[in-house]
A and B are shown apart, each in its own frame.
Chain A
């Protein structure tokens, strides 16, 4: 028995969901839902337990060796001096990711058994969902970029399959394609980044690569050295996967998938893969001021931009989708100002409260019999009390009210933005200002959602909609997530006490290096309390404005929308970005595809070549068939002519004195 059984066989953790996926996918079609449930929940549950044990063993290992756990299982690709092995690794960053993925994933599996109970393709859904878990675990456990990329593409595949789960619906299959194609643009950058890294450092293994990259010189603003370019290219991939400007357009449409999918893939785990990659590659990013600034600015701009769109959406899931884009922007903002641990902290708390929000929204949709438009809800708080309490918890968490999780993570991001050193102090203050504005908008649109859905007048027909509370299978995961959304941020709470430290940052210190808030300990401490107070006030203002607009004076909203018509229409139409992309990218591409690729290259070129060869063969056969006259004597003549030709060639071929085919000396 090895000292660390699960750690030594770490591949078990991702393998279990893969097995579950294969079993359900191959045999599930004929099984009753109950057996499919056992396979799906059992495999992910065991995977979660395995992950917990692996984490416990890792702490043991780390206490002895003080280094990342790294284990090579087998060589996957070896070509020349290029190697890509099936290596898994575990460090504190992986610990956070693995527990979030398996834990939240498991809860959402349980929830989905109730939510999807009446849907067709039940086994197919769980097969895809388990497949997603497998690829996500590969992504976070991978010890090199190539294996990470396998997971990266695999989660994209699962995402595509699940967005298009209701594939008979045109909008769903279109949304699936959109997600896949937009992600491909980012992946293009990711791959180029990998190539560049391999060219410069000769390895893609994290430990070796970062050890080689670490001594490189710092690249100041506007200097595009190898590290800057590689980091920017990797960030391009992250933008695609994590729905950042300008590649965010697929995420809102991804809400066509079933709600548990939105919760697991398009909120809690997969979309955070980009943040994970940036954090994992923090050594590359930290060496380049340009890359850091790009990450911070893109993140901050996305956070603000998406939040403004979220203000006016009426579809409950779309509000949450834009909120996800916005919160992902926060995470990138944190990474961009060098506060990687704050970004990962927000990633974790966001996974809790955003999964909770989506699952609670799913519970609302379930209660309303499939209705997603908030204009046709209202006054639900008394009828589905538990769901309401959960939703309110998550809203308080995302809006940044203490002592809920989001308050602490958002606060540490804003603090880091305020203290940002990249690109000068003014950049930091601007980032902070936009971050704070986003916090205001976040509080506003989240409370708008709460008030529109759960309070005010009832705006649906009671005879048509039978509002009912969800079953326990759905409520229990909600409760667990609600507890996590509440206490999940308390790791950082001691930072507010005199002499206390942020335990989350301290926990990730072996990965990201020294504590970011160092030196001016006392000053930073009072600054932190000040900024937290400001953030809290801002969130309160947002909530109060939403209360006033949507509960006290609901008639005002229409007037406000009318008086600000251009702005309102722009926001409602999502800044016309989809239309812009349609004109600039989609239509020209379609035109080229139709008129050049289809009608010229395909019809004339490829079909022409294939049909031409066929026609040519027929024509030759048509001509040659006359030689087969059936007249034996003409065959005899051909034999003689052939013999004469062969003899003539042997004698008269200009062979330059050399014997022809060695026949004549």
Chain B
């Protein structure tokens, strides 16, 4: 059986990659994907702890996260399509209308 800390380390690496991409990528689609990556890294940690502690709480939580992520994807992709139509670009640096 794979020890729990392996899962946790993998989860941390995935999360770190997600954060890194979230900050440094310019393409909105990529940023969106990095958010998904972070969510799934957390899901992995939840499942791993759930397995280690022998409780179902973590797995229940994962199901909720998946539901929320699906909703978020629907809304987020809608926004992205609107941005792409209006500004003819997917570069976040060009989306700065709220600048003071």
A residues 627-654 near B (Cβ < 8 Å) are: 628-633, 636-637, 640
CB of A382 within 8 A of chain B?
A: no
CB of A625 within 8 A of chain B?
A: yes
Contact, CB under 8 Å: A631 / B93: yes
Q: B94 → chain A, closest Cβ, in Å? A: 10
Contact, CB under 8 Å: A625 / B92: no
Contact, CB under 8 Å: B95 / A632: yes
Q: Which residues of A contact B96 (CB under 8 A)?
A: 629-632
Q: A640-B19, A640-B22, A640-B23 are in contact. Are A633 and B100 (CB under 8 A)?
A: no
Q: A637-B23, A640-B22 are in contact. Are A632 and B92 (CB under 8 A)?
A: yes
How far is A62 from B96 in the complex, measured between Cα atoms in Å?
92
Q: Which residues of A contact B22 (CB under 8 A)?
A: 636, 640
A residues 9-60 near B (Cβ < 8 Å) are: none
Q: A312 → chain B, closest Cβ, in Å? A: 79
Q: A627 → chain B, closest Cβ, in Å? A: 9
A residues 599-646 near B (Cβ < 8 Å) are: 625-626, 628-633, 636-637, 640
Contact bitstring B1-42, A, C-beta under 8 A = 1, else 0: 000000000000000000100111010000100000000000
Question: Smallest CB-CB separation from B35: which chain A residue?
Answer: A636
Contact bitstring B57-100, A, C-beta under 8 A = 1, else 0: 00000000000000000000000000000000000110111111
How far is A636 from B22 in the complex, measured between Cα atoms in Å?
7
Q: B22 → chain A, closest Cβ, in Å? A: 6
Q: Which residues of B contact A640 (CB under 8 A)?
A: 19, 22-23
Q: A88 → chain B, closest Cβ, in Å? A: 69
Q: B95 → chain A, closest Cβ, in Å? A: 6
Contact, CB under 8 Å: A628 / B23: no
Residue of A628, A632, A640 with highest tally of chain B CB at under 10 A: A632
Give the total of B residues in contact with A, Cβ under 8 Å.
14
How far is A631 from B93 in the complex, measured between Cα atoms in Å?
6
Q: B78 → chain A, closest Cβ, in Å? A: 17
How far is A632 from B23 in the complex, measured between Cα atoms in Å?
9
Of the candidates B23, B24, B99, the one whose C-beta lies within 8 Å of that of A630 is B99
Q: Which residues of B contact A630 (CB under 8 A)?
A: 96-100
Question: Smallest CB-CB separation from B19: which chain A residue?
Answer: A640
How far is A633 from B34 in the complex, measured between Cα atoms in Å?
13
Q: A633-B23, A636-B23 are in contact. Are A628 and B100 (CB under 8 A)?
A: yes
Q: Which residues of A contact B99 (CB under 8 A)?
A: 628-631
Q: Which residues of B contact A628 (CB under 8 A)?
A: 98-100
Question: Smallest CB-CB separation from A633: which chain B residue?
Answer: B92
Q: B21 → chain A, closest Cβ, in Å? A: 10
Question: Smallest CB-CB separation from B24: which chain A residue?
Answer: A633
How far is A640 from B20 in the complex, measured between Cα atoms in Å?
10
Q: Which residues of A contact B31 (CB under 8 A)?
A: 636
Question: Smallest CB-CB separation from B20: which chain A residue?
Answer: A640
Contact, CB under 8 Å: A625 / B23: no
Q: Which residues of B contact A629 (CB under 8 A)?
A: 96, 99-100
Q: Which residues of B contact A637 (CB under 8 A)?
A: 23
How far is A252 from B92 in the complex, measured between Cα atoms in Å?
84
Q: Which residues of A contact B92 (CB under 8 A)?
A: 631-633
How far is A629 from B98 in the complex, measured between Cα atoms in Å?
8
Question: Smallest CB-CB separation from A637: which chain B residue?
Answer: B23
Q: Which residues of B contact A636 (CB under 8 A)?
A: 22-23, 31
Question: Smallest CB-CB separation from B98: which chain A residue?
Answer: A630
Q: B38 → chain A, closest Cβ, in Å? A: 10
Question: Smallest CB-CB separation from A629: which chain B residue?
Answer: B99
Q: Which residues of A contact B24 (CB under 8 A)?
A: 633
Q: A641 → chain B, closest Cβ, in Å? A: 10
Q: Which residues of B contact A633 (CB under 8 A)?
A: 23-24, 26, 92-93
Q: A203 → chain B, closest Cβ, in Å? A: 67
Q: A629 → chain B, closest Cβ, in Å? A: 6
Q: Which residues of A contact B95 (CB under 8 A)?
A: 632
Question: Smallest CB-CB separation from A627: which chain B residue?
Answer: B100
A sample of 17 inter-chain contacts (CB < 8 A) reads A625-B100, A626-B100, A628-B99, A628-B100, A629-B96, A630-B96, A630-B97, A630-B99, A631-B96, A631-B99, A632-B92, A633-B23, A633-B26, A633-B92, A636-B22, A637-B23, A640-B22
Instruction: Identify the A interface with B (CB < 8 A).
Output: 625-626, 628-633, 636-637, 640
Instruction: Identify the B interface with A (CB < 8 A).
Output: 19, 22-24, 26, 31, 92-93, 95-100
18 additional A-B pairs beyond A630-B99, A633-B23, beta carbons within 8 Å, are: A626-B100, A629-B96, A629-B100, A630-B96, A630-B97, A630-B98, A630-B100, A631-B92, A631-B93, A631-B96, A632-B93, A632-B96, A633-B93, A636-B22, A636-B23, A636-B31, A640-B22, A640-B23
10 tightest A-B contacts by CB? Answer: A630-B99, A630-B96, A632-B92, A630-B98, A628-B100, A625-B100, A636-B23, A636-B22, A631-B96, A637-B23
